[in-house]
Amino acid sequence: MITRLLFSAKQRINSITKISVMAFAAIGLLGFFGFMSQEKITVKGSDTMVILAQRWAEKYMSNHQEVSIQVTGGGSGTGISALINGTTDICNSSRAMKSSEIGKLKERFGSLGVEIPCAKDGITIYLNPSNPVSSLTIAQLKQIYTGQITNWNQVGGSDSKIIMYSRENNSGTYVFFKENVLGNKDYSPSCQNLPGTAAVVNAVAKDKSGIGYGGHGYSSGVKICKVNGIDPTKENIASGSYPITRFLYMYLRNRPSGELKKYIDWILSAEGQKVVVNEGYFPVK
């Protein structure tokens, strides 16, 4: 009897052990499949917007464990190409899509795409903090970046050669500046193209003769130059009185649904637009 009881107890222990192992395995599988079932959203494009997009993603994911958002930069042109190629859900762009790009999207997906203004920005002119120049006109900026004005003493500064820094040609900021400031004229061959706005800011901060341009959110460590005597403030950008004001966009192939729609709705909400302000940009409303 004792032997049987001991054997029965051992059987029960073994059964409990098996059940426990199975329970832990089940929990592990549930966790695994829970991870696997995360909704994934990919975001590619504008370097001007990349930090803002990362902050949006971090904030949203902290309250939505079921969503995974991957953000990469590379420039607006890179993001638009990814949208056309079907390798991103959201394209961030600091310029409007061209008709030729929309045509490619339609040819491949039968859609003209969806344009969503998600923030406003004033393209900011960066100067070295030691530069005595405090304001430039659009005409002067055009002459500087096309190589007609080459010395700071021609615009009220010291006698030194102007060193121009610019974004690369896959940048939406590069395209917007060329269209709206240079009047589609070519940049001067002596202009130094750099791979990101942070690189432009860093170069100007170190170069007493430097000038650069980019998003307002990157303007730390440099002097902000007025344009036509107007500062890129929230009020001036909201009213459109700052002459190089632009929208920042998200582009999609089709109207969003599911988690993608929830994410975009959140970006446009008061909470999402607060992130815009915190990162040095301006809300769409």
In this prediction the pTM is: 0.81
Alpha-helical (H) ranges within the chain are 2-36, 50-63, 76-85, 99-109, 138-145, 172-180, 197-206, 234-239, 258-267, 270-278
**φ, ψ dihedrals at 243, nearest 5°:** -70, -10
Q: What three-state secondary structure class fits 66?
A: coil
Task: For residue 178, give the amino acid letter.
Answer: K
Query: What are the tokens at 180?
Result: 């709206």
What is the C-alpha to C-alpha distance for residues 268 and 276, in angstroms, rounded to an integer? Answer: 10
pLDDT value for 197: 93
Weakest mean pLDDT among 7-21, 46-60, 76-90:
7-21
- Statement: 124-239 belongs to CATH 3.30.470.20: no
Rounded mean pLDDT of the chain? 89
Per-residue pLDDT reduced to its tens digit, 80-111: 999 999 999 999 999 999 999 999 999 999 99
Indicate if 124-239 has the same CATH topology as 40-121+247-278: yes
212-227 in b/e form (b: 16+ CB < 10 A) is bbbbbbbbeebbbbbb
Over range 40-65, report the average pLDDT.
97
Q: Which residues pair with 115 in a beta bridge?
A: 251
pLDDT value for 67: 97
Which helix (H) or strand (E) element contains residue 148? none
Q: Which residue has the higher pLDDT, 107 or 16?
A: 107
Split at pLDDT 50, 70, 90, the class of 37 is low
Cβ contact 217:52 at 8 Å:
yes
pLDDT at position 233 over 80 = yes
Cβ contact 209:160 at 8 Å:
yes
What is the C-alpha to C-alpha distance for residues 216 and 277, in angstroms, rounded to an integer? Answer: 11
For domain 40-121+247-278, the CATH superfamily is Periplasmic binding protein-like II (3.40.190.10)
Query: What are the tokens at 203?
Result: 């170069």
Q: Break the chain into its structural domains and give their ranges.
A: 40-121+247-278, 124-239
CA neighbor of 284 nearest in space, from 78, 108, 70, 119: 119
CA dihedral 183, 248, 75, 272 (to 10 degrees): 170
